[in-house]
Structure 1
C-alpha cells in the first residue's frame, strides 16, 4: 500500500494535512483536515491567529485531488500533474466560523466518474469545506495528467537552462505582506506595481521537493502577498482590517525557474467594502498566468 506522502506528492510528512479520505460514490469523496494550530507558515499569517488561512484550505484540496487521482483514478506515479485553473470563495455570512476550534471536513465532487472506461487526462474537482458542519468555503480545481514522455516533449529544451539563484536579501519585509516570520516572504519589490517571485528553498511550504518550474501554489501565494502590500498604500497601518474574500487563477504556460517571474498589478478596483486586484504573471515578455484576489473589510 502506497504511503499518503507518495499519494499527495509531499516529502515532509509534517506537511501532510489531510486524512480519512474515502469514496462515497462514483463521483463523490470525503476527507478530514488537520487543524493548523501551530503551523510555522499557515499559523503565521496575521489573519490566521484566530482563523484558518484560506490558502491552507487550498493546499489541503490540492493534496486531496492528488491522492484521489492516484488511488481512485489510477493515474500513474510517473505522470505529471498540471494545474489549469482554480477558484476559491469564502462564504461571506459564515467566514467568521473559520475558527480553529471546529472540526474541518471536506466534500468533493469529481466531474469524472471512477467507473469511467477511459484513462483520465483531465478532471474538474469541486470542494466544499465545512467547519463544525457549516459550509465556509468553496474551491474548484481543474487539473490535467500527462504521460512522462508527453510532458518532456512539451517542456522541450527548458531543462537545459540554468535555474536562477534567488537573492533572499531583496525579499520584502514580511510584516508588510501579513507575516511575522521572514522565512514566509516570497516576493521582492520592483516598484509599486511590480514584484518578483523569490522562493526561499529553506521553506518546505514553498519547496517541499525539487521542481522544474514555479508551482501554482507559489504563484498564488506571491499574488496574495503582493495584494496586501498594494492595499497598504491606500489604507496605511490598516492591513489587519482586510481578509481574503476570493481568489481566482488561470495558468497558460509554465512559469520557469531559469528567468525572473514578475507579478504585475493590472487593475485595482474598490467596490463598497471590497477591493479587487487583478495580476498577470509575466516572464521573458510573455504572460504566463493571471490571478485575481478580492479582499474585503473584516466583519466585527
Structure 2
C-alpha cells in the first residue's frame, strides 16, 4: 500500500488497500478485464469505505488525448468512482447481482493543478462516505456517494454521485412503460442515427477517430449542435450490450463538444482541460431515437459550457463542463 497517512488521510482502512490484482469484474458490470481498474475496497463502517484503483499508463480510450502534459483524464477518475460505487452497492449494501443501476447525477471537481499521468501505472485511493439511503421493502433503492480522490498524499479531486437501484425482475416492465409499451433494442443491434460527417478528432482533443462521438456539427441560433455518434462496438463505451446510451458516453460527448465550443478561448484544445463537470440525468437515452447535443457558453463565465442532451421525447440530460488551462501538477 503506497498511501501514506496524513491529517486528512487518516482512516485506518486506507492502509488495508492493495493494488496487486483487480476485483471480480462481474461486480463492476464489466466483461473485459482490460476495462477493470478497481483493485480493492475496505469498509470502515456502514457509511464509509476506501477503494483502490490502478490507473493505466496507456489506454486506447482514456489516454487518447491531445492535451499538453498528458494529464490524467477526469473521465478515467469518474470511471474508477463508478466502479467503486458499483462494487460497494453489491458487496457492502446488498444490491443483488441482477440489480439494475441508474445514474441520477454526478459532479467532478479538480483540486489543485491537473494531475499528470506518470510513466508507470498510478495508484488511486478513494475515500467514500455514503448518505441519503432510500429503501423499499427492505431493499436499497438509492444512495448518494461523496468521494475524495488521492494519488499518494496529493488530493486530486472530489466526486459526488447519486444512484438508484432497481430489481432486475422489474426492469423490463419499467423500461417498456417508459417507452410507451415497446421494449428497447440492445446496442449491438441498434442502427446508427447520426447525420453528417464525423467531427475531426483534433477539434475535440482526440487523436484516434474511433473515439470521436460527435457528427453533423452545425449552428442553431446561439447553440452549437452535434449529433451523438453511438459507437456500439467501442470496447470502453459499450463493454457489453446495453439497452440505452450510458451516462459516461453522454459525458464524453459533452466534454468533446465543450472543447470544440471553447477552442478559440486559448487557441487550441491542447491547452484546455476539464476542471469541473456536473451532470443531471432525467431519463434513459434511447438507442433507437436520434440524440443531439446543444452547447452554449455561460454568459458570465466563458470557461463554462452548458450542454443539453436531447431526444424527441425531451431532454435526457443536462451537463455543465468547466474548462481551465493545463498546468500539470508536479
**TM-score, structure 2 as length reference:** 0.81
Distance in 1, Cα, partners of 2:193 & 2:138: 42
Which residue of structure 1 aligns with residue 108 of structure 2?
A: 88
CA change 1:96–1:227 in 2 (3 A) is closer
Which residue of structure 1 aligns with residue 324 of structure 2?
A: 296
Deviation at 1:105, TM superposition (A): 1.2
Secondary structure in structure 2 of the residue aligned to 1:125: strand
Q: Structure 1: give runs of 5+ residues left out of the alignment.
A: none
> Does residue 276 in structure 1 map to residue 304 in structure 2?
yes
Distance in 2, Cα, partners of 1:293 & 1:200: 22
Please list the CA deviations of residues 101-145 of structure 1 after superposition, one character each: whole Å capped at 9, or x if unmatched.
6532111111168xxx93211000111110121111000100000
> Does residue 186 in structure 1 map to residue 216 in structure 2?
no
CA change 1:149–1:103 in 2 (3 A) is closer
Deviation at 1:221, TM superposition (A): 0.4
Deviation at 1:269, TM superposition (A): 3.8
Deviation at 1:71, TM superposition (A): 0.9
- Structure 1 counterpart of 2:238, from 194, 207, 224: 207
Distance in 2, Cα, partners of 1:121 & 1:27: 16
> Does residue 264 in structure 1 map to residue 288 in structure 2?
no
**TM-score, structure 1 as length reference:** 0.89
Which residue of structure 1 aligns with residue 14 of structure 2?
A: none
Deviation at 1:159, TM superposition (A): 1.5
Deviation at 1:100, TM superposition (A): 2.4
Deviation at 1:199, TM superposition (A): 1.9
Which residue of structure 2 aligns with residue 20 of structure 1?
A: 40
CA change 1:158–1:32 in 2 (3 A) is same
Verify the 8 A CA contact 1:98 1:136 in the aligned structure 2.
Answer: no
Which residue of structure 1 aligns with residue 150 of structure 2?
A: 130
Distance in 2, Cα, partners of 1:27 & 1:47: 37
- Structure 1 counterpart of 2:204, from 177, 192, 200: 177
Matches within 5 A, 1:156-167: 156=176, 157-159=181-183, 163-166=190-193
CA change 1:168–1:34 in 2 (3 A) is farther
Secondary structure in structure 2 of the residue aligned to 1:175: helix
- Structure 2 counterpart of 1:100, from 114, 118, 121: 118
Deviation at 1:99, TM superposition (A): 4.0
Secondary structure in structure 1 of the residue aligned to 2:163: strand
Which residue of structure 1 aligns with residue 62 of structure 2?
A: 42
Verify the 8 A CA contact 1:253 1:288 in the aligned structure 2.
Answer: yes
Distance in 2, Cα, partners of 1:167 & 1:191: 13
Verify the 8 A CA contact 1:199 1:206 in the aligned structure 2.
Answer: no
Say how many residue pairs are matched: 291
Which residue of structure 1 aligns with residue 8 of structure 2?
A: none
Deviation at 1:299, TM superposition (A): 3.3
Verify the 8 A CA contact 2:215 2:227 in the aligned structure 1.
Answer: yes
Q: Structure 2: give runs of 5+ residues left out of the alignment.
A: 1-22
Task: Compute the RMSD of aligned alpha carbons.
Answer: 2.4
CA change 1:299–1:269 in 2 (3 A) is farther
CA change 1:203–1:144 in 2 (3 A) is same
